[in-house]
Amino acid sequence: MKYILINTLIALIITFNTLAQNYQPPGGIPVPEFGLSEEAPAWPSSWPSNEVVNYYYIDNTHPNATNASNTYGSPDRPRTSIPEITYPAGSYVEIHAGLYLGGGQIIFTGNGTETEPVWIRGVSSSDKGDISGEMIVKGSYGIIENFVFSTDYAVVGVGPHNGSTAHHIAIRNNEMFGTGTDVSFRFHDFADAALVIHNMVLIWFSATLLSKGGFI
């Protein structure tokens, strides 16, 4: 069954603090099978001092941050950039501070599962990572949360890209703002699954909220 749940209020300035676990969808809309109630995993026991396979720690403001011989990063020695790769099931990516631009687009694939989703996240709702490039999300069972998208091209794109597909993606607890015409989500051609957009703050002056356009 295909469905899209959008729980987002839009205005020039908005505060929206509904807790996901208490959210009840309007009558006639099913509760999503994925994306609202999942909780991020705890830090691995080898942090803060050691790298852990498939646990990524990124903070480009940290004095010890480097990408050199530092595949995953750790709290004591973070990476400086977000890896644009295919993440296996259960991967955890924690992103601090910013800005993060990538090459203008930050593109990644998450091969998550229902029991082992891929987490791409800022620290918390009060300590968000700052993204200044368009984020394109591909793959399955991914959760994107706790970010500020802070440019005039603040876009999260979910859907087919270069032959890939996307399904079971949750975008939650983020802020998007800018003065341009692209402060938006782009999504299209989902394969038998849900996109969940929950608990968002959107601040804009001339913007497209939801677009079905393709990706460059």
pLDDT digits 0-9 by tens, 166-214: 788 888 888 877 655 454 555 555 444 555 665 555 544 444 444 444 4
Residue at token pair 């852990």:
52
Q: What is the pLDDT of residues 52-96, one digit of tens each?
A: 999 999 999 999 999 999 999 999 999 999 999 999 999 999 999
Q: Rounded to whole angstroms, what are the CA distances from 66 to 72, 77, 106, 150, 174? A: 10, 7, 18, 24, 26
DSSP strands (E only) in 54-111: 55-59, 86-88, 92-96, 98-100, 105-111
Which pLDDT belongs to residue 205?
A: 42
Residues 6+ apart with CB under 8 A from 208: 181, 182, 183, 184
Chain Cα centroid distance, residue 164: 18
Q: Is the pLDDT of residue 99 over 90?
A: no
Reading the block at residue 93, the tokens are 């990516």
Q: How far apart are CA 105 and CA 127, in angstroms?
A: 22
Chain Cα centroid distance, residue 39: 14
The model carries a pTM of: 0.79
Per-domain residue ranges of the chain: 3-15+86-211
